């Protein structure tokens, strides 16, 4: 009895990377949307600067605020003593990021979708 097979390792690796990249971008978008719910909005400049990206390799996702008043943005995020109206918050990126730990399931689903 002879058994033969075709090795599809490279295609499987590429498919897994595509799925991971897509899943990471979805997770980053979810974190961004959650952070927009609590980001300080005195002028809306900070909220308008929110964005997401995935690296060229596809395995690093970023959620960011690119406000030109960068130093104030960092202080607004980190300083728990700043006044924030009801519904707004310091740690407006950190809180949604910690809450998104369940997005690993979405990431796994995207990888599985590519492999099936």
User: What pLDDT does 105 receive?
Assistant: 74
Q: Could you tell me if residue 4 is inside a domain?
A: no
**What domain count does the chain have?**
1
What are the pLDDT digits (tens) for 59-107? Answer: 889 999 887 765 666 777 777 787 777 888 888 888 898 888 777 677 7
- Domain of 63 in residue numbering reads as 9-115
Q: Could you tell me if residue 1 is inside a domain?
A: no
Q: Could you tell me if residue 3 is inside a domain?
A: no
Q: Could you tell me if residue 32 is inside a domain?
A: yes
Long-range contacts: 96-103, Cβ < 8 Å, 24+? 96/30, 96/31, 96/32, 96/34, 96/35, 96/38, 97/31, 97/63, 99/34, 100/27, 100/30, 100/31, 100/34, 103/23, 103/26, 103/27, 103/30, 103/31
């Amino acid at each position: 009895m002879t058994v033969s097979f075709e090795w599809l390792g490279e295609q499987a690796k590429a498919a897994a990377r595509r799925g991971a990249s897509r899943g990471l971008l979805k997770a980053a978008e979810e974190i961004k949307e959650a952070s927009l719910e609590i980001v300080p909005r005195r002028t809306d400049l900070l909220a308008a600067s929110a964005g997401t990206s995935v690296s060229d390799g596809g395995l690093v996702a970023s959620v960011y605020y690119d406000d030109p008043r960068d130093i104030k943005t960092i202080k607004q995020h980190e300083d728990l003593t700043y006044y924030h109206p009801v519904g707004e918050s310091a740690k407006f990126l950190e809180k949604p990021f910690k809450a998104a730990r369940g997005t690993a399931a979405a990431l796994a689903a995207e990888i599985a979708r590519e492999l099936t």
